[in-house]
A and B are shown apart, each in its own frame.
Chain A
Amino acid sequence: MARIDLDHIRHAYGARTQKPAQYALKEVHHTFEDGGAYALLGPSGCGKTTLLNIISGLVQSSEGRILFNGRDVTPLSTQERNIAQVFQFPVIYDTMTVYDNLAFPLRNRGVAEREVDRTVREILAMIDLESWTNRKARGLTADQKQKISLGRGLVRADVNAILFDEPLTVIDPHMKWVLRSQLKQLHKRFGYTMVYVTHDQTEALTFADQVVVMFEGEIVQIGTPAELFARPEHTFVGYFIGSPGMNVLPVTLEGGTARIGTNEIQLHTAPTQAPNGTIELGIRPEFVRIGREGMPATVTKVEDVGRHRIVRAKVEGHEVAAILGEDDEIPAEPRMIFDPAGINLYADNWRVETAR
């Protein structure tokens, strides 16, 4: 396993370009610590898969260097970098048996057959395909095939890192739970360096110790799931993480008070510096309380999603979503309170530091 340093990586597909807009990756300078579980999270086209392929060597970055444990691997081929990667859609060798599929990466590297057998059987047990050992891989269903792809990624213990490119896309919801927690347990047990690309916040947050949120070719925030939830550094992070995303409302600031129309909201703490630009208040639906006190709100829709309800309401003409418990009531004339602990302030979309 290795520490991976990305040293000022920039990448543009196609011809060399000077325009920043044409870079699929604008500038990434970051270190993945040895044994860490990381997720690259962002919408499609944000450059997360490009970054993953640059690490594995399937794509050569236009600029910058990659180091594994301090050693420059930028000119090395994928094989020489010794990494494992699992792709979005199952890649299996049709004509081989399930067993041979898993043994393939080991045999290619000349591992002794006894060692191959031991490892392959261990992985087969883990992905629950023991009964298929000697069957041809081509008759399997999509999620069984993807399990083989996952298994092939995990079969080599000596790799520098294991990279995942949206590996659970084709997997049924129930199986997702099983595989995800197995991956996590595996990480805890063997301490692999893992980088996991996904657009699915639940997958990213539950899998990773550190989540790297990407948007339009740039990293917007790196943090633990808790940090991303409580302190989104950018309104995009607030929107992209959380379901529904963070409510963002335009406000005017007067010291320790924020004003939405005629309503005043007392802030826990005032900004350390008076911010410039467009000022907005961000509050997650989890921190919006509905009751008989606070700002008057008009409820437009209530979605019962089983374990809780999502209340869509309007405050001073702005849409605000709130999460309400399964058994909580909505009063006839509902009012809203924003829990001060959940309030963040933004100036031109970036979070404003407040005194703690």
Chain B
Amino acid sequence: MNKTWNNKAWFMVLPVLLLVALSAVIPLMTVVNYSVQDTFGNNQFFWAGTEWFQEMLTSDRFWAAMGRNLMFSAIVLAIEIPLGIVIALNMPKSGWGVPVCLVSMALPLLIPWNVVGTIWQVFGRVDIGLLGYSLRQIGIDYNYVNDPFDAWVTVIGMDVWHWTSLVVLLCYAGLVSIPDAYYQAAKIDGASRWAVFRYIQLPKMNRVLLIAVLLRFMDSFMIYTEPFVVTGGGPGNATTFLSIDLVKMAVGQFDIGPAAAMSIIYFLIILLMSWVFYTVMTNYDAER
């Protein structure tokens, strides 16, 4: 549509533009700066060109961390999306149960990320944690501090606990917007429970599911606080994700150049993924 022109519109977007400039563009330019420079301290910088990028892209350490990130995101999505749908499908549509369910679902989302980490760090401890101690008592050899597999289980369990609610809430919003007539028609057409899900609920949830996948992918790909608090990236490098590695490199080893290069690559990947999702979503809309 050709909307009528109105100059006031620009004043409306101005604050957002300023905010984005201050919070995103300017820091990003600093990082870009670092990624093409080398320094030996004393505030002396030298031009390094694409050296850091080449180093990063050929380093095993980078690719190992990247692999862990992708693996983590894949597992988390594979659990949270179906689980979120199942929970949303079984939530009440009306009555007093609705606010109860919604509030209890929203609770994990309200807890600060480092607190979530701390909760699970304690929760999983084999000496005093409810989870760790109980698992030990029933004879399961569980110890996230020493065992890489247990560390992964703990980190994934934590993420599922923390974020499935988001998927549930999004799906629930999609489900309640389906008019009653659709369910009535399905009954009359003799549709099975599965057919109702497959041909009515899933198509109507399509959009929110895409948004859920996008949000959960980006969030899980950027995961930092929780595993940092729980495992600190260990045991060994088992749960060292890109973000944790980045901090180790920049703050621990003070390799600002490679760290900057890495964060730009990291940023570009996320940008690429978001673009893919965006294209899929808008194409889907255009098809409607």
A108 engages B191 (CB within 8 Å)? yes
B190 / chain A contacts, CB cutoff of 8 Å: 79, 105, 108-109
B267 interfacial contact with A, CB 8 Å: no
Cα distance A91–B189 in the bound complex, in angstroms: 11
Judging by beta carbons under 8 Å apart, are A95 and B188 in contact?
no
* B-side contacts of A83, CB under 8 Å: 188
Give chain B nearest CB distance to A33 CB in angstroms. 22
Tell me, yes or no, whether B199 is within 8 Å of chain A by CB.
yes
Q: List B residues 152-201 near A (Cβ within 8 Å).
A: 179, 181-182, 184-185, 187-192, 195, 199-200
The answer to whether residues A89 and B203 also contact, given A58-B184, A58-B187 and a CB cut-off of 8 A, is: no
- Which residues of A, 59-89, contact B by the 8 Å Cβ criterion? 77-79, 83-85, 87-89
The chain B residue with its CB closest to the CB of A109 is: B190
Tell me if B199 and A96 are in contact (CB < 8 A): yes
- Knowing A89-B179, A138-B288, say if A95 contacts B189 (CB, 8 Å): no
Interface string of B77-120 (1 = CB under 8 A from A): 00000000000000000000000000000000000000000000
Chain A's closest residue to B192 (CB) is A108
Q: What total of chain B residues lie within 8 Å of the partner, measured CB to CB?
A: 18
By the criterion CB–CB under 8 Å, are B200 and A87 in contact?
no
Closest chain A CB from B185 CB (angstroms): 4
Are B203 and A87 in contact (CB-based, < 8 A)?
Answer: no
**0/1 per residue, A216-254, Cβ < 8 Å to B?**
000000000000000000000000000000000000000
Q: Looking across the interface, which residue of chain B has its beta carbon closest to that of A159?
A: B188
Complex contact A85–B185 (CB within 8 A):
yes
Residues of A within 8 A of B203 (CB): 93-95
B288 touches A87 (CB 8 A): no
Interface residues of B in 195-213 (CB under 8 A from A): 195, 199-200, 203-204
Chain A 145-188, CB-CB to B under 8 Å as 1, else 0, gives 00001001000000000000000000000000000000000000
Let me know if A78 and B187 touch, CB within 8 A: yes
Task: Find the A residue at minimum CB distance from B180.
Answer: A58
Residue pair A78, B188 in contact (C-beta under 8 Å): yes
Q: Tell me whether A287 is interfacial, beta carbon within 8 Å.
A: no
- Cβ of A104 within 8 Å of any chain B Cβ, yes or no, is yes
Instruction: Please state if A108 and B195 are interface contacts (CB–CB under 8 Å).
Output: yes
Tell me whether B189 and A87 are in contact (CB under 8 A): no
B188 contacts which chain A residues (CB < 8 A)?
56, 78-79, 83-85, 105
Chain A contacts with B in 185-221, Cβ cutoff 8 A:
none
Residues of B within 8 A of A108 (CB): 189-192, 195
Smallest CB separation, A141 vs chain B (Å): 13
Which secondary structure dominates chain B's binding surface? helix
Docked complex Cα distance between A88 and B288 (Å): 22
Assembled-state Cα–Cα distance A56/B181 (Å): 13
Is B191 within 8 A of A85, CB to CB?
no
Residue of A nearest to B199 (CB): A93
Inter-chain contacts of B192 with A (CB < 8 A): 108
Interface contact A87-B181, CB-CB below 8 Å: yes
Answer whether A87 and B199 are a contact pair too, CB < 8 Å, given A105-B189, A105-B190, A108-B189. Answer: no
Taken together as a complex, chains A and B put the C-alpha atoms of A184 and B187 apart, in Å, by 26
Instruction: Tell me the minimal C-beta distance from B253 to chain A in angstroms.
Output: 52
A109 surroundings in chain B (CB, below 8 A):
190
Q: Which residues of B contact A93 (CB under 8 A)?
A: 199-200, 203
Interface bits A305-327 vs B (CB < 8 Å: 1, else 0)? 00000000000000000000000
CA distance A95 to B287 in the complex (A): 11
* A residues less than 8 Å from B187 (CB atoms): 58, 77-79
Question: Is the beta-carbon distance between A95 and B191 smaller than 8 angstroms?
Answer: no
CA distance A142 to B288 in the complex (A): 13
Interface flags, B126-156, vs A, CB<8A=1, else 0? 0000000000000000000000000000000
Q: How far is the CA of A139 from the CA of B288 in the complex (A)?
A: 6
- How far is the CB of B280 from the nearest CB of chain A, in Å? 16
* Interface members, chain A 245-303 (any B CB < 8 Å): none
Partner among B182, B195, B288 whose Cβ is within 8 Å of the Cβ of A91: B182
Contacts of A138 on B, CB cut-off 8 Å?
287-288
B188 to chain A, nearest CB (A): 5
A105 to B203, CA, bound (A): 18
CA A58 to CA B181, docked complex, whole Å: 10
CA distance A78 to B182 in the complex (A): 14
Give the chain B neighbours of A53 by CB distance below 8 A: 184
Other-chain residue from B182, B184, B199 in contact with A95 (beta carbon distance below 8 A): B199
Q: Are A87 and B185 in contact (CB under 8 A)?
A: yes
Q: Distance (Å) between the CB of A53 and the closest chain B CB?
A: 8
The smallest beta-carbon distance between B154 and chain A, in angstroms, is 39
Shortest distance in angstroms between A110's beta carbon and chain B's nearest beta carbon? 9
Task: For A78, list chain B residues within 8 Å (CB).
Answer: 184, 187-188
Enumerate B243-288 residues with CB–CB distance to A below 8 Å.
287-288
Q: Please tell me if the beta carbons of B189 and A104 are within 8 angstroms of each other in the complex.
A: yes
**B218-259 toward A: CB 8 Å interface, digit per residue (1/0)?**
000000000000000000000000000000000000000000
Give Cα distance in the complex from A108 to B287, angstroms.
28
Q: Give the residues in chain A near B185, CB-CB below 8 Å.
A: 85, 87, 91, 149, 152
List of A residues within 8 angstroms of B287 by Cβ: 138-139
Identify which of residues 46-72 in chain B touch chain A, using a CB-to-CB cut-off of 8 Å.
none
What are 7 residue pairs bridging A and B, where the CB atoms are less than 8 Å apart in the complex?
A: A78-B184, A79-B188, A79-B190, A88-B181, A89-B181, A94-B204, A139-B288
> Which 4 residue pairs of A and B lie closest in terms of their CB atoms, listed nearest first?
A108-B190, A91-B185, A105-B189, A78-B187
Apart from A95-B199, A105-B190, list 16 A-B contacts with CB within 8 A. A53-B184, A56-B188, A58-B187, A79-B187, A79-B188, A89-B181, A91-B182, A91-B185, A94-B204, A104-B191, A104-B195, A105-B188, A108-B191, A108-B195, A139-B287, A152-B189
Using a CB–CB distance below 8 Å, which chain A residues touch chain B?
53, 56, 58, 77-79, 83-85, 87-89, 91, 93-96, 104-105, 108-109, 138-139, 149, 152
